[in-house]
Amino acid sequence: MNTKEFIKLCLHKITEFIAPIYFYRKALNIGKGLSNAKIIFLLYEIDKKRNESHWKIFFKNIRKFAGFACYEIGSKNYLEFLEQKKTEDLNHFVWFEAKDLIPLLGGFTDEVLCNLPPSIKLIYFDTFNTKHKKPFFKPGPSPEYFEDFDYLEGAFLIPLAEFRNNKEKIQKDLAGYIKSFVSEYSFNQNSVAHIPRIAFSVDRDYHSSQKVLSSQEDKPKSFVKKPLVSILIPFRDRPELLKVAVDSILEKSSYSNYEIILISNQSKEKETLDLIHFYTKNNPNIKKLEYDSIFNFSAINNYAAKQVNGEYLLFLNNDTEVISSHFLEGMLEYASKAKIGLVGPKLLFPDGTIQHAGIILGLTGMAEHAFKFQKDSDEFTAFGFPNSIRNYLSVTAACAMVSKKKFWEVGGFNESLTVCGNDVNLGIKLFEKGYRNVYLPHISLFHFESKSRKNTKIPDGDFIESMKSYKRYLEEGDPYFNQNLDYKFPWLSYNMSSVPAHLRNLERLKRLKPVLFE
């Protein structure tokens, strides 16, 4: 491909997905000046009088070429430049200094950028990773996820007005200002917009950029005042399961200020009664409650939650086994934060595959666990990693912690949901109260739910009641999911039409390897 053909390819149909702007030094003959560039402004101009829009791309030390409106600016006079009359109508920009981020012009259109409310301070996009050879379809604004993994990747826009209003900070430290700006607004979900459209290609190894989770496991937060945690375990007989669950807490927990509340739902077996007697006699922090009525998961846990002393509640199934010794303080670290609601760990099947890594509304038609049946690994998927801290609408009550105050603030579990959907409903109620629910992959337990067992009979009333709280998210979409992913097999497949045509041919990508910087 000669220079003329390459430029034509790059500029063809600017409002559609086109080839990324791979600026080859040799092809474009622009010399070595580009290798010193570290600041890139990609500014979107809207001419309201002519009802037209186009991009102006500003590089440090690059001259005008190929009809692009490019201007040469120095490393210290960009503020002065942005105040010039010819830039006064520019309203957004992309800033990045990484060599691995390439803009795809078709991702930025009037349709996307002109209909956003003025409160939006940060706009981010999906990307295509050329190293992993797959797209990265990101969730909606997820503060705890961003703390753990930089899913923004620099693929975002910021209103230019923010820079014009903070000249002194920018002049002193542009990179520092960008970092603090993004950190501040990433926690204000009303100020952040996610555009589920691939607008950048990224040549990056996500494994190397992901925070090492083992560091969190080794150094859990220490509490000066250790709040009491009430661990609520409902059961009906099955003493062999209950013993595994309780013994794993007693033997492995590195956090001492807890009480275990064993809630018997009409247990009758002698072996069960003997086990309960043994626990309550030999462990002063283990207590028994009797719920003598038909099974209702929500009612049982509400009944127990009203009688416990703990400041925090940990709902725990009797068919679980603790793996992580720091599971209580690890979950407390998040549950004790003012804006956090439910906190849930990673649950594994006995064979080590994932049973739970958060809950997604709409998955399989209603609600289902994220990454279920997938390997517990750092393998990158189109939805990211299963081993990243993430925000979800809810987590499973098979193991979930919440402050007792917040639990009752939203009315506890909905007792109309007797078997299924009660945890999702609780998570949604907390979310709609302004709390964020969090999944913690560095804390893990086994959940002995058989993959091959037939589904337990779920009352029709549970489906009807669940639909009342699910309806909005089934119609509008789960804010922590991505519409480009397949709702049946999101970790394995996605809507290929959402990927720019030129990126579907990975062999072609090898021939068009970007060399924007060295």
pLDDT of residue 129 exceeding 80, the answer is: yes
Residue 455: the pLDDT is 53
Beta bridge partners of 201: 102, 128
| CATH architecture, domain defined by 225-450+458-476 | Alpha-Beta Complex (3.90)
- Residue 149 near residue 388 (C-beta atoms within 8 A): yes
Q: Where does the pLDDT of residue 91 fall: very low under 50, low under 70, confident under 90, or very high at 90 and above?
A: low
pLDDT of residue 118 exceeding 90, the answer is: no
CA distance 157 to 263: 52
pLDDT of residue 2 exceeding 60, the answer is: no
> Quick one: DSSP state of residue 88?
T
Question: Which position has the higher pLDDT, 35 or 294?
Answer: 294
Q: Where does the pLDDT of residue 364 fall: very low under 50, low under 70, confident under 90, or very high at 90 and above?
A: confident
Residue 498: the pLDDT is 62
Q: What is the pLDDT of residues 246-260, one digit of tens each?
A: 999 999 999 999 999
Q: Where does the pLDDT of residue 87 fall: very low under 50, low under 70, confident under 90, or very high at 90 and above?
A: low
pLDDT of residue 74 exceeding 70, the answer is: no
Residue 486: the pLDDT is 83
Residue 353: the pLDDT is 94
- What is the average pLDDT across 167-185? 73
- The whole-chain average pLDDT of the chain stands at 76
Listed as own residue / partner, the contacts of 12-17 with beta carbons closer than 8 Å and 24 or more positions apart are: 13/106, 14/54, 14/55, 14/105, 14/106, 15/106, 15/109, 15/110, 16/106, 17/104, 17/106, 17/107, 17/198, 17/500, 17/501, 17/502
- What is the average pLDDT across 463-477? 92
Q: Where does the pLDDT of residue 123 fall: very low under 50, low under 70, confident under 90, or very high at 90 and above?
A: confident
Q: What percent of the chain has pLDDT over 90?
A: 46
Residue 465: the pLDDT is 93
Pick the range with the lowest mean pLDDT from 103-107, 275-279, 486-490.
Answer: 103-107
Residue 61: the pLDDT is 35
Helical (H) or strand (E) element with 198: strand 192-202
- What is the average pLDDT across 160-183? 72
Pick the range with the lowest mean pLDDT from 14-23, 453-462, 497-506.
Answer: 14-23
pLDDT of residue 47 exceeding 70, the answer is: no
How many CB atoms sit inside 10 A of residue 249's CB?
22
pLDDT of residue 514 exceeding 60, the answer is: no
Listing DSSP states for 467-488 in one string gives: HHHHHHHHHH--TTS-TTB-SS
Query: What residue segments make up the domains of the chain, in order of their start?
Result: 3-212+502-511, 225-450+458-476
Q: What is the pLDDT of residues 410-428, one digit of tens each?
A: 999 999 999 999 999 999 9
- Residue 417 near residue 289 (C-beta atoms within 8 A): no
Of the candidates 201, 183, 200, the residue with the CA atom closest to the CA atom of residue 192: 183
Residue 97: the pLDDT is 44
Of the candidates 371, 382, 313, the residue with the CA atom closest to the CA atom of residue 346: 371
Residue 397: the pLDDT is 98
- Residue 354 near residue 379 (C-beta atoms within 8 A): no
CA distance 158 to 178: 9
Q: What is the pLDDT of residues 265-296, one digit of tens each?
A: 999 999 999 999 999 999 999 999 999 999 99
Helical (H) or strand (E) element with 199: strand 192-202
Cα–Cα distances in angstroms (integers) from residue 52 to residues 67, 112, 164, 275, 311, in the given order: 17, 14, 24, 76, 58
Q: Where does the pLDDT of residue 1 fall: very low under 50, low under 70, confident under 90, or very high at 90 and above?
A: very low
Pick the range with the lowest mean pLDDT from 166-170, 274-278, 446-450.
Answer: 166-170
Residue 224: the pLDDT is 67
- What is the average pLDDT across 499-506? 51
Residue 113: the pLDDT is 60
Q: Where does the pLDDT of residue 182 fall: very low under 50, low under 70, confident under 90, or very high at 90 and above?
A: confident
Residue type, 489: F
pLDDT of residue 396 exceeding 90, the answer is: yes
Pick the range with the lowest mean pLDDT from 95-109, 137-151, 181-195.
Answer: 95-109
Cα–Cα distances in angstroms (integers) from residue 399 to residues 184, 245, 277, in the given order: 31, 11, 24
Residue 338: the pLDDT is 97
Whole-prediction pTM: 0.81
Q: What percent of the chain has pLDDT over 70?
A: 66
Structure tokens at 227: 């709040």
- What is the average pLDDT across 391-397? 98
Tell me the torsion sign for CA atoms 16, 499, 364, 153: negative
Residue 220: the pLDDT is 59
- What is the average pLDDT across 46-74? 41
Q: Where does the pLDDT of residue 105 fall: very low under 50, low under 70, confident under 90, or very high at 90 and above?
A: very low
